[in-house]
Amino acid sequence: MTHPHTRTRFTSRHILLSALLFLSLTQGCVNLKAIQDFANISAESAEYTTLVDNYVDFPHRQKRYQPEDRHAQLEAMTQERLTQKTELLLRHQFIEEYMEALGGLAADEIVDQSEELSQLTTNLQSQAGTSPAETEAFGKMAVILTKVVSDGWRKCQLHELIEQSNGPLQTIVKSLTQIVVDGFGGDDQNEQFAMQSYYRTKIAQSNDPAGIAALMEWQESRGENLAAHTQSIQAYSAILEKISEGHQTLYDKRNDLAKAQLLQEIKQTVKELKDLLDTIKKI
């Protein structure tokens, strides 16, 4: 039989522990390093915009292979792609800024992104080419990030940030993934065609064995560069997929962000993201 005093002590201790747990969550004592790491590596990944530069430069690279009478058309394509650059980078910027806010709140820091937000808002106003769904996602994300800064959100609002941002973030990441896979990937396949057509034609026209050997070496070297580029596209689309999955996991378990199992899952996602980012950096 339990002594009444023991029961009282147990209840008091229980209340005290619960209060401590609540305080630790709200006052930043719970270590959410896995979420900080996820946010940091995702922000770092979003900073990688080499593929956007290569997309804009694609028509220039085509000039190596295509006859001169095609160059004006390729130049026009470059100009059109240049006008898309800000919009393409906008997707990267949103992911980066959001992840920095997420990492900040997970570390219980005040997020100060006033300058970046102002830049984002300016870019947002000048961009009209996106779909209504994506424009809405940009707008929602800008509103949430502004609220984080203006209201001085801290760790206790982390679940709220994740809850409000998951929808727009998934829309932006999905759109960027499609562009990376089908757009940048499609460019690589067109470049592969142009390169092969150019070298095969030159080789078929040549009667000089030494010249043919040199051409084959050039083709091989260019082919290797292109294969490396294709590899970086595949790695980057895998990164975007991991960011999407990782954030969805946070959203699904947003009411229990300190749970060990969740933090372990996120830790694993961070490791995979780091490996993929290292792969891209080595290419």
Partner 1 sequence: MPLTAQEAFDLSKQFREFAIVLGNYRFANWQKLTPTQRRDIEDEEWSLINSSSDMITKAVGLALEESETSVDSITKSIKKAKSAIKKLEKVSHIITVAAAAVGLGAAIVSKDPGAIAKNAKLVMDSTKTLPA
Distance of CA 252 to the CA centre of its chain: 20
Tell me if 47 contacts partner 1 by CB under 8 A: no
Tell me if 123 contacts partner 1 by CB under 8 A: no
| CB 180, CB 236: distance < 8 Å | yes
Q: How far is the CB of 80 from partner 1 (least distance, A)?
A: 5
Tell me if 50 contacts partner 1 by CB under 8 A: no
Say which residues have a Cβ less than 8 Å from residue 96's Cβ, sequence separation at least 6: 43, 46, 47
What is the biggest distance separating any 2 CA atoms in the chain, rounded to whole angstroms? 104
Tell me if 229 contacts partner 1 by CB under 8 A: no
- Tell me the C-alpha distance between 107 and 40, whole Å: 11
Q: Which of 115, 125, 126, 204 binds partner 1 (CB under 8 A)?
A: 204
Compute how many other C-beta atoms are within 10 angstroms of the C-beta atom of residue 36: 20
1: exposed, middle or buried (Cβ count in 10 Å: 0-12, 13-18, 19+): exposed
DSSP state at residue 126: H
Q: How far is the CB of 229 from partner 1 (least distance, A)?
A: 15
Torsion angles phi and psi, residue 59, rounded to 5? -60, -35
Tell me if 96 contacts partner 1 by CB under 8 A: no
Closest to partner 1 by CB, 66 vs 249, is 66
Q: Which of 49, 86, 166, 196 binds partner 1 (CB under 8 A)?
A: 196
Q: Which of 41, 81, 120, 236 binds partner 1 (CB under 8 A)?
A: 81
Segment 146 to 165, residues that bind partner 1, using CB under 8 A:
none
Tell me if 131 contacts partner 1 by CB under 8 A: yes
Specify the DSSP element, H or E, that contains 58.
Answer: helix 50-62
Q: How far is the CB of 190 from partner 1 (least distance, A)?
A: 5
Catalog residues that contact partner 1 under the rule CB under 8 A. 55, 58-59, 62, 66-67, 70, 73-74, 77, 80-81, 84, 87-88, 129-134, 171, 174-175, 178-179, 182-183, 186-187, 189-190, 193-194, 196-197, 200-201, 204
